[in-house]
Amino acid sequence: MRLERVEVRQVSLPLRFAFETSFGRTTEKEFLLVSASADGVTGHAECVADVDPFYLPETNATVLHVLRDFLVPLVFGLDLPHPADVLPAFARVRGHEMAKAVLEMAVWELWSRREGAPLHRVLGGRPGRIAAGVSIGLQKDEATLLERVAVETAAGYRRVKVKIKPGRDLALVEAIRARYPDLPLMVDANSAYTLDDVSHLARLDPFGLTMIEQPLAWDDIVDHATLARQLRTPICLDESIRSADDARRALDLGACRIVNVKVGRVGGFSGAIAVHDVCRARGIPVWCGGMLESGIGRLANVHLQTLPGFTLPGDTAASARYFDEDLVDPPVEVAPDGTIAVPEGPGIGHEIVWPRVERATRRVETWTRP
Ligand code: OSB
Ligand code: MG
């Protein structure tokens, strides 16, 4: 397959609720939507980069630059036997996993549309339903947080994740546990702690959390291994894992017992499958993270987590939690039993509502094969 055209849109969608983490607060989902065309078929993918480099180093501007000046010219020079050949072809470009991922994912989506197959089938997953979990941001007070937990558990979500940061951790976990003794509950610190906090973090142990996600630095695995030896709560890594090699090294060191897989953080579907495979071979459970995606990225996540190693509920929640009007029809819905249907149509499997995409588009840039 030879790509003929790549288009990037800068899209801006208002979020229904501000989402606050230890690194910042988001009120608007501003992302790049990439469309790749070959032989009269077009595939689409959503980038997980944000306007700022507060989660990981990439931003929408760096992604646009790396796509325009490096990755797109590079793919135009290739004849691709399969989408799995895209990520290896990007090897010379160091880092920039989010930029690599969005182009790679668009090629997989295009490929599955050409095959008339749902994404999960070309990725090697299975049809059916997936288990949904929910990620709750930092709230203004404990009462508001408890109210959010009540709403989400009533909606059926199979596990609850809450964001924590120094000063906003033990009391909030204690309050949730007091009211929900058996709820599968976890916390995500987004790198807000250091090894000076070991004894403080160990005070989470009595609450029986399923895991603590990324307590230490975004680029660390060594300190996480040190911390892991002093905690009973399993550590899950998010930010620190940006390739299958990162996962292998983290597991060799004992830095984590669970891995959060985000397609956009590991260079695309090939990277995500590779991380999944490394973990599965060692009996390490993985789950699919989220980045407040619109339906386009959200559905990509739904398909990914049909692979057999995704044994824990992910952060893939209903479109309606984020947006008044999602970009796909139907929106992603969560059934009362806390599951999401895996679409059977070609590609992501739901229609993209182009008039809504147009309204949300701020700029478009198009490149054609020379
Ligand atoms: O660390 O998992 C994270 C959102 C933005 C950036 C990082 C993270 C998150 C979430 C939200 O936890 C998950 C979601 O609901 O999409
Ligand atoms: Mg996280």
Nearest CA to ligand 1 atom 6: 291
Ligand number nearest to the C-alpha of 55: 1
Distance 96 CA to ligand 1 centre (A): 19
Nearest CA to ligand 1 atom 7: 291
Distance 54 CA to ligand 2 centre (A): 12
3-state SS record for the chain = CCCCEEEEEEEEEEEEEEEEECCEEEEEEEEEEEEEEECCEEEEEECCCECCCCCCCCEHHHHHHHHHHHHHHHHHCCCCCCHHHHHHHCCCCCCCHHHHHHHHHHHHHHHHHHHCCEHHHHHCCCCCEEEECEEECCCCCHHHHHHHHHHHHHCCCCCEEEECECCECHHHHHHHHHHCCCCCEEEECCCCCCHHHHHHHHCCHHHCCCCEECCCCCCCCHHHHHHHCCCCCCEEECCCCCCHHHHHHHHHHCCCCEEEECHHHCCCHHHHHHHHHHHHHCCCCEEECCCCCCHHHHHHHHHHCCCCCECCCECCCCHHHCCCCCCEECCCCCCCCCEEECCCCCECCCEECHHHHHHHEEEEEEEECC
Ligand 1 site-directed mutation target among 29, 135, 187, 241, most atoms within 8 Å of CB: 135
Ligand number nearest to the C-alpha of 31: 1
User: Does 163 qualify as catalytic in the annotation?
Assistant: yes
pLDDT at 287: 98
pLDDT at 312: 98
pLDDT at 314: 98
Task: Say how far apart CA 149 and CA 172 lie, in whole Å.
Answer: 11
Distance 218 CA to ligand 1 centre (A): 14
Task: Say how far apart CA 365 and CA 189 lie, in whole Å.
Answer: 36
- Closest ligand 1 atom, CA of 262? 2
- Closest ligand 1 atom, CA of 298? 16
pLDDT at 69: 98
pLDDT at 66: 99
- Cβ atoms of 143 and 168 closer than 8 Å: no
Q: Is residue 46 within 6 Å of ligand 1 at its C-beta?
A: no
Task: Say how far apart CA 314 and CA 185 lie, in whole Å.
Answer: 12
pLDDT at 318: 98
Give pLDDT tens digits along the chain (370 positions): 999 999 999 999 999 999 999 999 999 999 999 999 999 999 999 999 999 999 999 999 999 999 999 999 999 999 999 999 999 999 999 999 999 999 999 999 999 999 999 999 999 999 999 999 999 999 999 999 999 999 999 999 999 999 999 999 999 999 999 999 999 999 999 999 999 999 999 999 999 999 999 999 999 999 999 999 999 999 999 999 999 999 999 999 999 999 999 999 999 999 999 999 999 999 999 999 999 999 999 999 999 999 999 999 999 999 999 999 999 999 999 999 999 999 999 999 999 999 999 999 999 999 999 9
Distance of CA 79 to the CA centre of its chain: 29
Ligand 1 site-directed mutation target among 17, 19, 23, 31, most atoms within 8 Å of CB: 19
Nearest CA to ligand 1 atom 9: 291
- Cβ atoms of 313 and 133 closer than 8 Å: yes
pLDDT at 316: 98
CB atoms within 10 A of CB 253: 14
Q: Is residue 23 within 6 Å of ligand 1 at its C-beta?
A: no
